Amino acid sequence: MNQAARGVLLLFIIGVCHSFVGQSGSTELLRLETTIPLPDVHGRIDHMSIDLKGQRLFVAALGNNSLEVIDLKINKRVQTVRGLAEPQGTTYVPASNRVFVANRKDGSVRTFDASAWKILQSLSYGNDADNLRVDPSSGHLWVGYGDGALGEFDQSGTKLVDIKLGAHPESFQLERNGTRIFVNLPQSRKIAVVDRKTQSVLESWGTGGPLLNYPMALDERDHRLFVVTRLPARLIVLDTQHGKHIATLPTIGDCDDVFYDEPHRRIYAIGGEGRISVYQQRDSDHYEELGRIKTVGGARTGFFSAELDRLYVAVRERGSQSAEIRIYMPKSESLGQVFGPEFRSYGARSWSVKLPWEQASNSSTATSASRLLRKERYDDFTLSPDRFDSGASRNARHPGHDHTCTTAHHKPGT
């Protein structure tokens, strides 16, 4: 491809992306696919879990004292389990087809047969049983509870370990390829690092000032921990190897759930202020907020399934707004998808283009592109077609818009 042809291709790409950015706002980052009504669910809705094989979503309706079961194949609620005591956390174990529900009011963790919906057992943890997680290596479960502890128990209901933390644990995440648990302790403004093998607290990391660190997500591959605080509202990125602070970014307020979308290399922070903050992970050290998706005030919990490529957001009843589950699909069309196999055929090659913008100034398109590049301070675009089909591809961002057009690896000018 000669220099002139490359220039024409680059200008065409810029024009297409400019059009995409101009026609779509932050709403295009997540497309609302459908809404599932829960008309008789009242009060606050807390956390969720999923049955991937059966495609069922389990919703802890704290204010309604119920567990709502949604069939995602037909997008309809199919079961309500009543008589719970302010359920907060829930998790599903496919091997035994059991659902575990942690309850705030009486501190119980109740186990249900996920077919007949009969209660099988109930474990008492005193008070405020909260988040639940399954250890992928042992199949055991962990619960955060009380004034500050993590409890481990097996699926038959035998308590195994209690690890004292000194403050009530909120969200916590288990390593899949290691033995550590990272635990948010908002009352002490710390993240505790627990070793589930030695059953001890290894160390604690501070938040660096922000308060109320409730939600947490883990990017284990890149050794990154994502912690969201509420006062002020910040997304904090830490290195899990040393506890070093990598980045701090503004985020939506009143966030209670945050998720890492590894295929798209994105982070979703769901906030009760009525927005979802969407971030792009450029690399393990660099992050950018792409936009905020409007939801409803009070909608601050959800669940992200990488396998189904869907984000589920709980909307609580408020005023004329009935309770519902909103299902969003991440949107990140690549140029390989837009232009088809002919464009993808360049996948084995990459090239750099520097256009003589002054010589092309008689072209309105070239002039527009020149202004765009100069405003963005990009002197040089390096096109890498082999990355266009990757969710990790670089993005050229147009200022003033919430949408990012996936185009090319750009080099900032000096």
Mark which of 303, 330, 357 sits at the end of a domain: 330
Residues 108 and 75 in one domain: yes
Q: Which of 320, 219, 211, 228 is nearest to 276 (CA)?
A: 228
pLDDT of residue 28: 81
Residues 346 and 391 in one domain: yes
> 203 lies in which domain range?
27-330
pTM higher than 0.85: no
Q: What SS3 state is found at 343? A: helix
Residues 229 and 357 in one domain: no
pLDDT of residue 5: 55
Residues 32 and 92 in one domain: yes
pLDDT of residue 27: 53
pLDDT of residue 409: 36
Q: CB neighbours of 362 closer than 8 A, spacing ≥ 6?
A: none
pLDDT of residue 331: 86
Could you list the beta-strand ranges (E) of 245-393.
245-250, 255-261, 266-271, 275-283, 286-294, 301-305, 310-315, 324-330, 351-353, 378-383
Residues 199 and 275 in one domain: yes
d(CA 192, CA 370): 50
pLDDT of residue 96: 96
Low-confidence residues of the chain, pLDDT below 50?
Answer: 8, 11, 14-25, 333-414
**Alpha-carbon torsion 86, 151, 267, 247, what sign?**
positive
Q: For position 159, which CATH number holds?
A: 2.130.10.10
For residue range 150-194, list pLDDT tens digits in order.
Answer: 999 999 999 999 999 999 999 999 999 999 999 999 999 999 999
Residues 220 and 339 in one domain: no
